[in-house]
Chain A
Amino acid sequence: MPAFIREMRGAYAFVERNVNLIKRYWGWEVVWLVYSLVNSLAVTYIGAGMERISGQALDTEYLITYLLVGTLIWQYLSVIFYAISEMIAWERWEGTIEYTFMAPVSRPTHLIGTTLFAIGYGVVRTLVILAIVAGFFRLDLGGANLIGAVLMLLAGSVSFVGLGILAAVLPLLYPERGAQMTNAVAAILLLISGVYYPIETLPGWLQVIAAGSPATYVIRGMRACLLRGEATATLLPTIFLLIGIGLAIIVVGLIIFRYVEAYAKRAGRLKRSG
C-alpha cells in the first residue's frame, strides 16, 4: 500500500474518532455551546449597555461589532488551540494513549488529522454561535471585506495550530497537571491579545508580551476587515507575517514534541492513567 494512502487513512482516523467523541458526548457539547453562546452574548451586551453605563453618547453599534468580532474570533481560535493541545490529554482521560502511540502513525499525521478536525469543528461551532447571536443584535457588515477576513482567519489558524502543538507537550511532560497548564496558557493569551480591548489599554510590560501573541494580529486584522472594510492588499503583510510565525511555531513545536515524546518513553510517562 502506498505510504501516502496509509498516512491519510491514519489522519482520517483522528478526524472520525473526534467526530464520534462529539456524538457520544453530545450532552457536554450542548453544555459548552450554551456556555460559549452566553459568554459571547454577555460580552457583547457590555457594548450595548456602554452608553447607559457611561452616561455619554457613544457609537454603540460599532462597540457591539467590535466586541462581537473579538469574542467570535477568540471562540474559533481557542477551539483550535484546545482541540490540538488536548490531543494527549484526551488519550490519557480515555486510557488509550498507549494504543495510539503504539500504532504505526507518524506524529505529523496524528497532528494533521487533529488539525483538520479542529478547523472544521471550529468553523461550524463559530458559525452556529454567530447565527444565534445575530438574532440578538443588528449587525451591519455591508462594508466589510469578507474575503480578507477569511484569509486573515486562515492565516491565524496556522499560528494557533502551532501554539496547540506546543501546549500539547505539557500533558506529555506532566501527566497530572499538564492539561491544567494548557488552560493557563489559553487564559494568558486571552488577556494579552486584545480580544475585548485594544492592547494599548494594558500596562507597558504586558503590551510587549502582547506583541508576541499571534492572536493580537489576527484579531486586529479581523477588525480591520469587518469594521473598517480595509482592502486585502493592505492586510497582506499581516497575513504573511501570521503564516510565517505559524509555520515557525509548528516546526519548533514538532521538534520539541519529538524530543519530549522520546523523553516520555525513557521515563515511562506514556502510561494510561498519569
Chain B
Amino acid sequence: MCTHALEIEGVHKVFARKDRSASKRPFRRRKRERVVALRDVSLRIERGEVFGVLGPNGSGKSTLIRLVSTLLLPDEGRIRVFGHDVAEDPFAVKRMINRVSVDAAFFKKFSPIENLLYAARLYGLPAGEAKERMRTIMTRLGLKESTFGQPMEHMSRGMQQKVAVARGFLTSPILLLLDEPTTGLDPHSKRDVQAFVDEIRASHDATVLLTTHDMAEADRLCDRIAIIDDGGIVALDTPEGLKRRIPSENGHEPTLEDVFIALTGRGFEDAESETEEVD
C-alpha cells in the first residue's frame, strides 16, 4: 500500500510568455521569453500530514498546485498522488483531490447551493446527500442559511471564499489542495477557515497541501513546511526545525520570516517585488 499521499520528483516547469518589452508591430510575431516557474522540485508528503509551501507571490506555489491538480503537465519529473501519476492516470488522481484556490472561481450569478450542487454532480455525488452535506459544511463555516440561495455576486469576498472551502470539502477528498485559501480574508473569516482545516485534519483521514505567504498561518497549521523561492525549494523541515536553523537574537525566538531572510538573503516583500508573476 502506498504510504505517501504525494510524491514530487525532479519537477521542472517553464512557461513561454510574450516579450512585453518588445515593440508591438502589426503582422510581426512577438518574441517569446522563457519563464522558469519551477526548477527541480522534489518532496514527499505523508498520509494525514498538513504540508505547507511557503513563498512570496510568483515563487511557483500555484504552479505546483496546478501541476498536482492535473491542470498543468510537468516538462520534466513525475508527480504521484497515492501512487497514481498525474500525467498518466489523471482520472484516478482527480477522484482523490479537490482544490481551493486564492480566487474563488464560481458562477457568480448562481447561489452557493447551485454552485455546490454543480460541483457535487461533477464528482458523481447524489443530489440529496450532497445538499445535506453542503448545508452542514456551510453552517459549520459560519455562513447563514439565508445566504444559501443568494447569488454569489452579492456576497462578500470572505463569504465567497468560505463557499469555496465548503466546495473543496464537499467531495471528501483524501488530498486537499489549499492554494492561499485565506489570502485577502478579514481576520474573523481567516480564523473560521483555519479552524475548519484543523477540524477536518482531526476528524478525517485527509492530507492537506497548503500554499501560503502567511507565515503565522503556515506556523500554526503545518506539520512540515517547504520554503520556495524563485521556483526552487530552499528549505524543508518542521516549523520548529526551520526556526532552529538560525540563532535567536536578543532573546527573541526567530520567526519563519527570519528564516526566509536568512535562507534567501532578502525579505518576503523584496522577493515579491523582484519576482515576476508566473503562476
Tell me the bound Cα distance from A9 to B119 in angstroms: 11
Tell me the bound Cα distance from A254 to B139 in angstroms: 42
CB within 8 Å for A262 and B73 given contacts A17-B118, A100-B122: yes
Q: Which residues of A contact B123 (CB under 8 A)?
A: 103-104
Residue contact B106 to A96, C-beta cutoff 8 Å? yes
Residue contact B109 to A21, C-beta cutoff 8 Å? yes
Q: Which residues of B contact A25 (CB under 8 A)?
A: 109
Within 8 Å of chain A (Cβ to Cβ): is B72? yes
Residue contact A12 to B121, C-beta cutoff 8 Å? yes
Within 8 Å of chain B (Cβ to Cβ): is A233? no
What 1/0 mask marks residues of chain A from 238 to 273 whose CB sits below 8 Å from any chain B CB?
A: 000000000000000000000000100111101010
Chain A, Cβ-Cβ closest to B108: A94
8 Å CB interface, A73-108 against B: 94-96, 98-106
Q: Which residues of A contact B118 (CB under 8 A)?
A: 13, 16-17, 20
CB within 8 Å for A13 and B72 given contacts A95-B103, A102-B94: no
Within 8 Å of chain B (Cβ to Cβ): is A138? no
Residue contact A270 to B71, C-beta cutoff 8 Å? yes
8 Å CB interface, B79-108 against A: 91, 94-95, 97-99, 101, 103, 105-108
8 Å CB interface, A10-31 against B: 10, 12-13, 16-17, 20-21, 24-25
Within 8 Å of chain B (Cβ to Cβ): is A228? no
8 Å CB interface, B192-235 against A: none
CB within 8 Å for A272 and B71 given contacts A9-B124, A103-B94, A104-B123: no
Chain B, Cβ-Cβ closest to A104: B94
Q: Give, as a whole number of angstroms, the nearest-CB distance from A264 to chain B.
A: 9
Residue contact B105 to A98, C-beta cutoff 8 Å? yes
Residue contact B121 to A9, C-beta cutoff 8 Å? yes
How many residues of chain B get a CB closer than 8 Å to chain A's CBs? Answer: 34
8 Å CB interface, B26-68 against A: 66
Residue contact A265 to B121, C-beta cutoff 8 Å? no
Q: Which residues of B contact A10 (CB under 8 A)?
A: 121-122, 124
Tell me the bound Cα distance from A268 to B279 in angstroms: 9
Within 8 Å of chain A (Cβ to Cβ): is B257? no
Q: Which residues of A contact B103 (CB under 8 A)?
A: 95, 272
Residue contact A13 to B108, C-beta cutoff 8 Å? no
Q: Give, as a whole number of angstroms, the nearest-CB distance from A218 to chain B.
A: 33
Q: Which residues of B contact A272 (CB under 8 A)?
A: 103, 105
Within 8 Å of chain B (Cβ to Cβ): is A1? yes
Tell me the bound Cα distance from A9 to B98 in angstroms: 18
CB within 8 Å for A98 and B101 given contacts A103-B94, A267-B16: yes
Q: Is the interface of A mostly helix, strand, loop or mixed?
A: helix
Residue contact B122 to A103, C-beta cutoff 8 Å? yes
Partner of A98, one of B15, B71, B109, B119: B71
CB within 8 Å for A267 and B15 given contacts A1-B124, A9-B124, A10-B121: yes
Q: Which residues of B contact A104 (CB under 8 A)?
A: 91, 94-95, 122-124
Within 8 Å of chain A (Cβ to Cβ): is B6? no
Q: Give, as a whole number of angstroms, the nearest-CB distance from B208 to chain A.
A: 17
Partner of A24, one of B94, B105, B109, B122: B109
Tell me the bound Cα distance from A149 to B122 in angstroms: 36
Residue contact B121 to A102, C-beta cutoff 8 Å? no
Tell me the bound Cα distance from A141 to B16 in angstroms: 59
Within 8 Å of chain B (Cβ to Cβ): is A57? no
Tell me the bound Cα distance from A96 to B119 in angstroms: 11
CB within 8 Å for A265 and B73 given contacts A24-B110, A104-B94: yes
Q: Which residues of B contact A105 (CB under 8 A)?
A: 122
Partner of B99, one of A12, A17, A102, A262: A102
Within 8 Å of chain B (Cβ to Cβ): is A53? no
Tell me the bound Cα distance from A266 to B86 in angstroms: 13
Within 8 Å of chain A (Cβ to Cβ): is B69? yes
Cβ contacts A to B, 27 pairs, < 8 Å = A1-B124, A9-B124, A10-B122, A10-B124, A13-B118, A16-B117, A17-B107, A20-B107, A20-B110, A24-B107, A24-B109, A24-B151, A94-B106, A98-B66, A98-B69, A98-B105, A99-B119, A101-B71, A102-B69, A102-B98, A102-B99, A103-B119, A104-B123, A265-B72, A266-B75, A268-B15, A270-B72
Interface residues of B (CB under 8 A from A): 15-16, 66, 69-73, 75, 91, 94-95, 97-99, 101, 103, 105-110, 114, 117-119, 121-126, 151
Name 9 extra pairs, CB < 8 A, besides A16-B118, A20-B107, A103-B123. A5-B124, A9-B126, A13-B122, A20-B114, A102-B70, A104-B122, A106-B91, A266-B73, A268-B72
